[in-house]
Amino acid sequence: MGKGKYSLINGVYKRLKNDLNWTNINNPKNINVITLYANNGTGKTRLSKCFQEIAEDQTLCYDAFFEDYFYWDNKNNLFKIDKESWVFKVIKDQGLNSKIIDNFREITDTKVEPDINTDTGDIFFRISNNYSPSQYKIKISRGEECVFVWSVFYTILEIGIELLNENEEDRSTDIFNKMKYIIIDDPVSSVDDNRIITIALKITKIILKSGDKFNYLITTHHPLFFNVLFHKNKDTWNKKNYILSKTQTEFKLKKQPTESPFAYHHTVVSEIQRAINDNNLKKYHFNLFRTLLEKTANFVGNSDWKTCLNGIEANEDFLKIIDHYSHDKLSELEYSNLLDVQIETYKSVFTAFLNKYNFMEE
């Protein structure tokens, strides 16, 4: 059978596991990260199951099976967690309630707030600062539900990293001691594009925070999510990108070494335009704009992205802001608000840029 072709999903698993175990002699502390794009039904969930079954003690996995620990009690309007699960035990024993709430609120950026009862496993959702009965046990959207479950996993991963920074004999639990592989399968189902980018940035942040403790396989069917991760931190990680496809007889694993297979510039334009329309521009949108300018400059044969703004009323301060925010810490880019003058300048420059290069609206 040819290179990159496998009759069974186990063959894909072995190939990716070898990549995750690869050691860079020149920089052995680099993190191995794989981003993999595959359409639904191709085998992403089965791939995550391979890691859980074959490398069970070494794998922490977010996938459909993790999501199944959570379910709705529609009669009582409660979201519940399986009290017999290891997830519930970690939340309770490590006191993760408040950290989960913080991570959920950072991503949703709404007044919705969860409250986890670590005795019963019941999860209430309420409108923050409004405790009237009609606003206490609310039914959240499917997207918010996905974000909440992801926030639980993300918080568990955070606490795992913190514990592994302690001496082994001082750790409050030993469940993370053998962990080696972090598998993240599509944490963005039913999530809107703004939150997709935020989740991708938070994943980048946690990977950098984990140092050499874990290696990561991130799989998705969402082009925007794949694109954001594809273009992040190439110099910091040992980074490999793949497209997984399936025919009736075999799986095909195709490398994407340099360019994303998707029209990244159109994806970014749509995301920025949506943020402008929703009055939801954040500092990381400067980062996206900078990447878009770089790709446009490369396409038209220029080496400097600033040439794309020639003839556009973009003052030096604006150019410095783009440059600064594009190299700033991720934690400072995610949720910080912009000044009104920055927002108006951004809108003006971005619109002029689209007109100059004849970008078509979707």
Task: State the residue for tokens 């950290």.
Answer: 99
Average pLDDT over the chain reads 83
Q: Is the dihedral of CA 18, 165, 116, 92 positive or negative?
A: positive
37 three-class SS: strand
Chain segment 170-200, per-residue pLDDT in tens: 889 899 999 999 999 999 888 877 788 889 8
- Amino acid, res. 28: P
Q: Report the pLDDT value the prediction gives residue 334, as an integer from 0 to 100.
A: 45
Q: Which residues of 253-284 are buried (b: 16+ CB within 10 A; e: fewer)?
A: beebeeebeeebbebbbebbbebbeeeebbbb
Chain segment 192-223, per-residue pLDDT in tens: 777 888 898 899 989 988 888 899 999 998 88
Weakest mean pLDDT among 273-287, 307-321, 325-339: 325-339
In the predicted model, is pLDDT for residue 329 greater than 60? Answer: no
Measured distance CA(285)–CA(8) in Å, rounded: 41
Adjacent-strand bridge partners of 216: 33, 182
Q: Report the pLDDT value the prediction gives residue 25, as an integer from 0 to 100.
A: 65
Q: Report the pLDDT value the prediction gives residue 312, as an integer from 0 to 100.
A: 86
Residues in the chain: 362
Of 100, 95, 210, nearest in space to 164 by CA: 210
Measured distance CA(185)–CA(244) in Å, rounded: 13
Q: Which two tokens stand for residue 116?
A: 């986890």
HSE, CB side, 13 Å, CA atoms: give it for residue 161: 18
Q: Report the pLDDT value the prediction gives residue 275, as an integer from 0 to 100.
A: 82
Chain segment 113-159, per-residue pLDDT in tens: 888 999 999 998 888 765 554 466 788 888 899 999 999 999 999 99
- Taking residue 18's Cβ as centre, other Cβ atoms within 10 Å add up to 9
Q: Report the pLDDT value the prediction gives residue 162, as an integer from 0 to 100.
A: 93
What's the mean pLDDT in 285-291?
80
What's the mean pLDDT in 65-72?
94
Local confidence band at 362 (pLDDT 50, 70, 90 cut-offs): very low
HSE, CB side, 13 Å, CA atoms: give it for residue 164: 18
Q: Which residues contact 327 (CB under 8 A, 6 or more apart)?
A: none
Q: Which residues contact 31 (CB under 8 A, 6 or more apart)?
A: 207, 208, 210, 211, 212, 214, 215, 216, 236, 237, 238
